[in-house]
Amino acid sequence: MSFLSCHAAVSPLSGTIPIPGDKSLSHRALIFAALARGKTTITGLLPSEDVWSTRLALASLGVDFQDESDGRVAVNSLGYQAFHEPEDIWNMGNSGTSARLLMGMVCNLPFRVFMTGDASLRRRPMGRVIQPLSQFGAKITARQDKILPLFIEGAAHPVPITYTLPVPSAQVKSAILLAGLMCHGETTVIEPEPSRDHTERLFDYYAIPHSITERNGHRHITVKGFPEIQPRPLHIVGDPSSAAFVMVAALLVPGSDVTIHNVGLNPLRTGLIETLQDMGGDIQIHNQTVVSGEEVGDIVVRGSALRGVTVPAERAPRMIDEYPILSVAASFAEGPTEMHGLAELRVKESNRLQAILDGLSAVGVRAESHDDTLTVYGQNTVRGGATIAAHLDHRMAMSFFVMGLRTQSPIMIQGWESINTSFPTFLDCMRSMGVTFAVIPDAKP
């Protein structure tokens, strides 16, 4: 075991940083390529542990993956109707997206799947998917608290469902929509609050029959079962949730000027950019275009003095993964930052609400939480000088690493290896913009 520690910045950060492929899109690209009958070439796929979990699971259904030059991945599939029962247990590692989306994808197929995950994933709620997927007719048996490990017996004669999401969750929505592909008739998900719509955009991109309508402020997404899915080339845009760490690093170090290339700008993912701009962050977007159905552009970020703001609950689904790094930015802002609607943070890779509070308190930042609101009181200088455990949570590890750029004493990250679940080139990106850091071996035997 070792600790990772970022050195305080002594000069401005600069450079042009490429951001690896979007995690949400990478999972979905593999899934849609597997559903289609024929060969798909994916470029820009995120080569991270979470995405690998999805790939291994799909391979066990009979899908062939080949790594080609330049990071391209070729997927050869006979289509979803040819999937067969996996021989072994699916281990989804740390990846909630793999677990939930693939539960949906197989729950209406005529075979059985066993699924588990790492200590973090085994604590995360699966009842939110078990409940709707059981309505199709699948039999899903999980541990007592509806957590992993679990066992799925695919529905022999699935019946389509109409389901209103009780929590805004793109994973639950996507699980149901994927299940609807293997069920005769029309399956509808009703979304009271919009969440990332990558799955729906891929329905569009693949010309899979579906409709999206707006009624009383709720989105109704309906998909028709048993579509013909033809392969299409896929290009994955850079992950805005990974770019978030680069953006905040650049904002926090005075005089910095960093360009981040090829960042996904789907409006249901841009809540952090808006928030940082509200805080006075100098963030500009250039060269906007659309790739494989997703908006993308280059982001130019300059070191900025930030001020505290109120982040409304309605924005939370559009930046749900970004609260740890926003809390770091808020720690150096003038005045308090109040973030509302954070209930879902308790069920991420760690209990992020608690982990943020504990981490900030350990490094000397005042913060408090009531109900689903977190308030961080920004200050001029932050002490630092603490060890922060990542709790198998990549975003906690990266957030407190970035915080170390501005603390008086270094912060040590324990369990920093979890960064590989989503952003394996994180330290390379940090290094190329001028950040220095140390990996310190654990002194204990």
Q: Which residues bind ligand S3P (CB under 6 A)?
A: 24, 97, 169-171, 174, 196, 320-321, 344
Alpha helices (H) in 7-113, listed in sequence order = 23-35, 49-59, 96-106
Which of 265, 260, 261, 268 lies closest to 294 in space, CA to CA? 265
> Is 321 known to be catalytic?
yes
Report the half-sphere exposure of 290 (CA within 13 A, side-chain side): 7
Catalytic residue among 321, 372, 393, 442: 321
Structure tokens at 353: 């609400």
Q: How far is the CB of 100 from ligand S3P (least distance, A)?
A: 7
- Strands 150-153 and 112-116 come out as antiparallel
Sorted by sequence, the CB contacts under 8 Å of residue 428 that are 6+ apart come out as none
* Complete edge-to-edge strand list for the sheet that includes strand 336-339: 310-311, 336-339, 373-377, 367-370
Q: How far is the CB of 174 from ligand S3P (least distance, A)?
A: 6
Q: How far is the CB of 239 from ligand S3P (least distance, A)?
A: 10
Helix 23-35 and helix 96-106: axis angle, to 10°?
20
55 or 196, CB closer to ligand S3P?
196
12 or 125, CB closer to ligand S3P?
125
415: how many CB neighbours lie within 10 A of its CB? 19
**Measured distance CA(41)–CA(45) in Å, rounded:** 10
Q: How far is the CB of 24 from ligand S3P (least distance, A)?
A: 3
Q: How far is the CB of 97 from ligand S3P (least distance, A)?
A: 4
Burial 347-378 (b: 16+ CB within 10 A, else e): bbbbbbbebbbbbbebbbbebebeebbbbbbb
| Residues designated as active site | 321
